Amino acid sequence: MPLEAHRCPNGHLTIPVHPRCPECAESQEETVDMTDETAEVVTWTTSTATPPGVRQPNHLAIVEFEVDGESVRTIGQLTTDGVEIGDEVRPVYAEELRDPNAGIREAASQEWDGYRFEPME
């Protein structure tokens, strides 16, 4: 499963994917694979009061990707708390971002995989 952004005809990128561009309202036509891209940490925090099934503490960051002169930001879990603003990170696939058996939803009702961000060495 790739980490995907969408690009509208005007070049704007969005993550998560939207049917229309939030900047210009054009239809999102092109998919951009961000899986092998690196991003910069814009800000980060640690949550100690997490939803059921989410690890504690849960380290989260807003990261910014630069692709072909366009930037796009997204939020996601970090693999560690050892990051600073401005650090370079890469997406790493995780089969379970939270425990599917904890919480009120049926495990089969949604996907549990996704990406975390890992600091570059």
Q: Residues 51-62: what's their mean pLDDT?
A: 90
pLDDT given for residue 80 in this prediction: 93
Q: What does R_g of the chain's alpha carbons equal in angstroms? A: 15
Residue 31 resides in a domain: yes
Residue 24 resides in a domain: yes
What are the backbone dihedrals phi and psi of residue 108, each rounded to the nearest 5 degrees, phi first?
Answer: -80, -5
Least confident of 63-67, 74-78, 84-88, 108-112: 108-112
pLDDT given for residue 93 in this prediction: 95
Q: Residues 6-30: what's their mean pLDDT?
A: 89
pLDDT given for residue 48 in this prediction: 93
The residue segments making up the domain with residue 63 are 4-100+111-119
- pTM for the model stands at 0.87
Q: Tell how strand 4-7 and strand 13-14 pair up.
A: antiparallel
Residue 19 resides in a domain: yes
- Chain center to CA of 43: 13
Residue 8 resides in a domain: yes
Domain count for the chain, please give it.
1
